[in-house]
Amino acid sequence: MGIRKWKQRLATKRISLRTLLGSAFYVTYPKPMQVLIKSLALGLISLISFHEKGLHHLVEQYWSFPVLNTHPDTLIADTVTGSEISNAIYPVGSIAWAGSSLNARMTVYNDYLYLTEYKNNKIAVFDIHKPARPILVQEFSCGANPRDVSIANGNLVVVCFGASALEIYAISDPRSAVLLRTIATNSGPKMMVTLEEYGYVICAGSSTLQKFNLANPDAPAPAATVATSHFPLGIAYANGILAVVGWSQNVDLFTTDSLVKKSLTIGGSAKKATCEFFGKYLLVTDRDHALLQVLDLTTIAGATLVNSFATAPFPEQVIVHNNVAYIASLTNPKDPGSVDCLDIDDITNITRIKNVGSLAAGTGFLAVSGNYLYVSSHFAPTDLFVIRMW
């Protein structure tokens, strides 16, 4: 009998122990033992009936960490409701450590998470092979005020705001990073994206975008430099286009080859925090007005603002996973942070699934590994939270 038929019979309670084990085996046990065996057998069938992702999640959850939430895995459903998605998003773990009084961005590579300790001038390295149990395995010193980290050609690239430099580290052994090369940038680099051997860096202090060849130490550095709108803070890439936002009402769009620029004014406040592509759409967090602005980039010439959705206060980084936008709320040091979870399947009709709150103050920065979202506190005390995503 196929798994689907077992599921149907189980769901309608038309399954008997005789069907499962055979009547000859069944009649040899007294009634109490029959009840026990039936319970165990039904439990086994319930496990088998999970969608393969659901079964993977269940095994991973019980094997890797204590269960902190008893919600069923809703991935077994063919069609899901908002409440089912909401139930599938929940905190599963956290770690506190004596890190910096100010932290910034993160990245994940080969089951290790790299987090910038802005005030400490260090990179914290966490082993996340067991997703909900991050283990701090190393903190190594780097240039002044690391603000962002990225991966290029298997190496770790650190954006050092205070040093106005990029530092490239070999991380073949994540517990013992080795500095390979330092590249000078314009004033105040904030963030970067890496595409094959190239890195694209936004420099807030000089309002510029710079392109670097990260693979060839003999290549000119930078390969190109162009002006951006005022004080760029966020950069994203998709389909040959770089999008840059910052302290203006503009979105700057650049081609990756020649860095040809087109600026679009989208309104809202003059403090955009970050941006992220979602198919043909660009999602922009408007920090001062607490908005998620959505730009349709089907054609660059005809780009239009199609939605502005009210978020939790002080939206910072936005990440998209399975048609859900996760937005970190960068609150002040005295207020608890949160992660806003928005259903963006219909981009013109965004709905809030839930807000995961009561996190550490200033939960501004996010990283993804599999179905797990890592949330870093920007202010002390330093905490790294883990949220199971839909």
Q: Is 83 helix (H, G, I), strand (E, B) or coil?
A: helix
Q: Is 321 helix (H, G, I), strand (E, B) or coil?
A: strand
pLDDT score of 36? 67
How would DSSP label each residue in 196-264? TTEEEEEETTTTEEEEEESS-TTS-SSSEEEE-SSSEEEEEEETTEEEEEESSSEEEEEETTT--EEEE
pLDDT score of 13? 40
pLDDT digits 0-9 by tens, 219-257: 888 999 999 999 999 999 999 999 999 999 999 999 998
Q: Kindly state the tokens that stand for 202.
A: 């936004």
The CA distance from 67 to 85, in Å, is 18
Q: Kindly state the tokens that stand for 46.
A: 């319930």
- Those residues whose C-beta lies under 8 Å from the C-beta of residue 368, and which sit 6 or more positions away, are 108, 319, 321, 374, 389
- Smallest CA-to-CA distance from 161 within 195, 128, 205, 122 is with 205
pLDDT in tens, the chain (390 residues): 444 344 344 444 434 444 444 444 444 556 566 656 656 755 554 454 444 344 444 434 433 333 333 333 333 233 456 788 899 999 999 998 887 788 999 999 999 999 999 999 999 999 999 999 999 999 999 999 999 999 999 999 999 999 999 999 999 999 999 999 999 999 999 999 999 899 999 999 999 999 999 998 888 889 999 999 999 999 999 999 999 999 999 999 999 988 999 999 999 999 999 999 999 999 999 999 999 999 999 988 889 999 999 999 999 999 999 999 999 998 888 888 899 999 999 999 999 999 998 887 778 899 999 999 999 988 877 889 999 998
Domain extents in the chain: 3-76, 89-388
pLDDT digits 0-9 by tens, 353-387: 999 988 877 788 999 999 999 999 888 778 899 99
pLDDT score of 271? 95
List beta partners, residue 325.
320, 342
CATH architecture of 89-388: 7 Propeller (2.130)
Q: Kindly state the tokens that stand for 67.
A: 């269960």
pLDDT score of 221? 87
pLDDT score of 39? 63
pLDDT score of 390? 86
pLDDT score of 208? 98
Total-model pTM: 0.81
pLDDT score of 33? 64
Tell me the CA distances in angstroms from 386 to 89, 92, 98, 241, 280, one per residue in order: 11, 6, 18, 31, 29
